[in-house]
């Protein structure tokens, strides 16, 4: 009987772990709170996951004075000193935030998300978040207050962990470039269709992808329509799934 009891307990624990690992992930949404002003406003958030820098986007932001919140990984920081220097030279435009150390999805159960292996444990999620923050300050950036994990998906428990570390989690309301894999036309269409209060996600680390050119076109259309661009730390916002409050 004692052996049977241990067996049943073991089966129950295995089922619990399996259920947790297969549970649906959350992809939080983020909107700006109404400003009460006549001009519509949006927040542009750009992920710098790794690789290089799309200078089409960076140059357009500087030349057109379009503010953006840039989520940088430790890997990107090591390889893009020139682009980082440009961003730091324009503190009125660029807010640098935490995208993790090694672009590992901040999910505390083992799984694959868009081909990326998740952190897999609470300890690994914490390491990805904290090391990403340290990488940013080590490169002369201000201590980040926002975090966005690779794939922008989380388990409820990893959200609670990240919030416990003192970071707000940046969701979005418009996926501008489909992970930088969309064509220029579709990226332009999605971005230029933004409405007051939207938070756009796109990428600034894929200079060879057509999406970058489409992003610039869409942003310039919004600017021509009188839209104001804001950074996340400059406005009030509302995130789903307990990510900001």
Percent of the chain surpassing pLDDT 70 = 91
CATH number for the domain formed by residue range(s) 25-239: 3.20.20.370
State the pLDDT confidence band at 15, using cuts at 50, 70 and 90. very low
- 13 pLDDT higher than 60: no
Whole-model pTM: value is 0.90
With beta carbons less than 8 A apart as the criterion, state whether 21 and 32 touch.
no
What average pLDDT does this structure show over 134-158?
98
Query: What's the first-to-final CA gap in the chain, in angstroms?
Result: 49
């Amino acid at each position: 009987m004692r052996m049977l009891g241990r067996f049943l307990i073991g089966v129950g624990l295995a089922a619990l772990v399996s259920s947790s690992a297969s549970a649906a992930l959350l992809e939080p949404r983020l909107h700006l709170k109404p400003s009460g002003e006549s001009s519509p406003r949006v927040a542009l958030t750009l992920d710098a996951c790794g690789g290089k820098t799309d200078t089409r986007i960076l140059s357009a932001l500087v030349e057109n004075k379009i503010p953006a919140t840039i989520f940088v990984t430790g890997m990107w920081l090591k390889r893009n000193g020139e682009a980082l220097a440009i961003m730091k030279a324009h503190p009125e435009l660029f807010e640098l935030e935490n995208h993790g150390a090694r672009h590992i999805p901040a999910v505390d159960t083992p799984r694959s998300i868009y081909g990326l292996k998740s952190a897999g444990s609470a300890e690994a999620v914490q390491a990805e978040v904290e090391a990403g923050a340290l990488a940013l300050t080590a490169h002369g950036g201000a201590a980040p207050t926002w975090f966005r994990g690779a794939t922008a998906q989380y388990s409820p428990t990893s959200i609670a962990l990240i919030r416990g570390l003192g970071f707000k989690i940046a969701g979005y309301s418009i996926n501008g470039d489909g992970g930088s894999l969309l064509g220029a036309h579709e990226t332009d269409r999605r971005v230029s269709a933004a409405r007051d209060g939207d938070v756009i996600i796109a990428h600034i680390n894929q200079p060879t992808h057509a999406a970058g050119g489409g992003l610039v076109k869409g942003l310039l259309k919004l600017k021509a329509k009188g839209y104001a661009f804001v950074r996340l730390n400059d406005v009030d916002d509302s995130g789903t799934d307990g990510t900001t409050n």
